[in-house]
Amino acid sequence: MTETIIETSGLSKSYTIGERSITVLEDISLSIQTAEFVVVSGNSGSGKTTLLSLLSGLDRPNAGSIRIAGNDITALSENALAPMRNELIGFVFQAFHLIPSLSALENVMFPAELRRDPDAKKKAMALLERVGLRDRSLNTPLQLSGGEKQRVAICRALINRPRLLFADEPTGNLDSGNSREILRLMTQLHKESRTTLVMATHSLDIANQADRVVHLKDGRLVAGQGELS
């Protein structure tokens, strides 16, 4: 029996720049099931990054609701939302967002240390070994290639064994070889752990591997294009 892990209703987001109001997302209603791999597709500026930021609690909507595992996160204070994000959600960014002064190992450990996990170092090293970076664990981000940085970012996102993993164009800054490796790694980990994976991308190759594709156009979901054959 499938379980709905994300449900949105009437989700809208706009920004005010000077005297102008710019609507980025409008009236988004969406359900995502546990262990599903969902791709959010659309052209640049369609609202993909904003949608992932709202679904993961990194940003807040102007209207509508977002329920994660039955909890309405739009009703939570930042103090209540922060630990929930750290425990339930992992996020992989296109630009990696690693802490420059920390080693690869320390970057991966960081979310687990926030939970005071006594096994943070052991878990981080096991993840780095899994992605072939054990020998790079003491290197800082400046000493790593783009593909290595993204593998570190994936390990960091997974260390707390989140139920939800969001990835915003995770291969956008990588060459084709590294892109294939990162995609293979993420889909393999998704299948093994049954983590729900929501990925924003305009890559047809990635979309063809998803359970479902939802399309955004000018901040709205495009009806009738959700399923892949």
The CATH number of whichever domain residue 208 belongs to comes to: 3.40.50.300
CA 160 to the chain's CA centroid: 14
Does residue 198 fall inside a structural domain?
yes
Does residue 229 fall inside a structural domain?
no
Backbone angles phi, psi at 104, to 5 degrees: -55, -45
Q: Which domain holds residue 185?
A: 34-58+77-221
CA distance 114 to 47: 31
> For position 14, what pLDDT does the model report?
94
CA distance 190 to 186: 6
Which position has the higher pLDDT, 227 or 192? Answer: 192
Whether 98 has a pLDDT exceeding 90, the answer reads: yes
Of the candidates 31, 50, 48, the one whose C-alpha atom is nearest the C-alpha of residue 40 is 48
Whether 225 has a pLDDT exceeding 80, the answer reads: no
Does residue 140 fall inside a structural domain?
yes
> For position 1, what pLDDT does the model report?
57
pLDDT bucket at 223, cuts 50 / 70 / 90: low
For 183: left if phi > 0, alpha if psi spans -120 to 50, otherwise beta; the answer is alpha
Does residue 9 fall inside a structural domain?
no
Average pLDDT over residues 186-201: 88
Does residue 122 fall inside a structural domain?
yes
Does residue 51 fall inside a structural domain?
yes
Does residue 18 fall inside a structural domain?
no
Q: What's the total number of domains in the chain?
A: 1
pLDDT bucket at 156, cuts 50 / 70 / 90: very high
Does residue 163 fall inside a structural domain?
yes
SS3 6: strand
